[in-house]
Structure 1
């Protein structure tokens, strides 16, 4: 774990590093209001728990034979 990852609050650059993505992607999430953020004066900050919740909300479970049958049953 890097020093930035050990912190509780992240800047845009640190959030991008924490999520292993680009700064542009983080700024787009903020502009679209898809992630919780905090304004501290003119600065945008993120809490670790909010970033983790964003990632968890995007979770997609693996396909299993039971889930396929269940989904087919719903479609019928």
Structure 2
């Protein structure tokens, strides 16, 4: 008989897996451990690389604009053979660098 972990030993703990989206070959999901006393949310490991469609979907940009950013080399990309992938942190860094500060009057 396999050893039981704490989550399976405690019948009050439930594990839920929520799929946030599927784009190309990238699956975005989150898991949550819920207990009767308090809910605890545990995020799944970050997605290592996004394809162009997933990057556009995650940021609310159009696919065409993400491809333009790549073509103009404004966003670093990872080339795996003919595949083009974007690190989420690189895209977030680009967005933060493009954000204008609020001007006080």
Instruction: With the length of structure 2 as denominator, give the TM-score of the two structures.
Output: 0.56
Higher helix proportion: 1
Separation in 1, partners of 2:70, 2:101: 26
Structure 1, gaps ≥5 residues long: 66-76
The 5 A counterparts of 1:1-76 are 2=20, 3=28, 6-65=46-105
- Which structure 1 residue ranges, 4+ long, deviate > 3 Å from structure 2? none
Paired residue total: 64
Higher strand proportion: 2
From the CA coordinates, give the structure whose radius of gyration is larger: 2
Structure 2, gaps ≥5 residues long: 1-18, 21-27, 30-45
Superposition CA RMSD, Å: 1.6
